[in-house]
Amino acid sequence: MTKYFAKLGLSSKVVGREAVRDDIAATELKGIQYLTKREIYPFWVQTFKDRSKRKNFACKGMTYDEDRDAFIPPQPTINHVLFKSWVLNEDTCQWEAPVAYPADGSIDKRYNWNEETTSWDEIT
């Protein structure tokens, strides 16, 4: 089995992820000690593929929030437009639109978020 560790950069931003065998990383602390020595880099936090801890599996670009003990993805954007209306769900640590995605029952319809109108626009 394998344990995974997020490498944290400035402002606790995830800059990488490393896998370590269980026999080396019997505990989170042992995994961090191993990586600190191997990589000569001190800032590591264990992440869990099954999301059993820390809400989300760490990926590059996410942020580790120590107070929430969670990995949080960046707030969504399209074409460099930040979705300021979206809010962080404290239970999942995922960003959510203020309006639910349309559930019209059709698999043929797709939608894009429109930040100006704070609504979903059907893609035609």
Q: Where are the domains of the chain?
A: 2-72, 77-122
d(CA 80, CA 93): 22
Predicted confidence (pLDDT) per residue in 39-66, tens digit: 999 999 999 999 999 999 999 999 999 9
Give the residue-averaged pLDDT of 60-76.
97
Q: Give the C-alpha separation, 83 to 95, whole Å.
A: 9
pTM metric for this prediction: 0.89
Residue 124 neighbours by CB distance under 10 Å: 5
- Measuring CA to CA, which residue among 11, 5, 64 is closest to residue 34? 5
* Token pair belonging to 1: 């089995």
- pLDDT tens-digit series, residues 77-123: 988 889 999 999 999 999 999 999 998 756 788 899 999 999 999 98
Predicted pLDDT of residue 104: 76
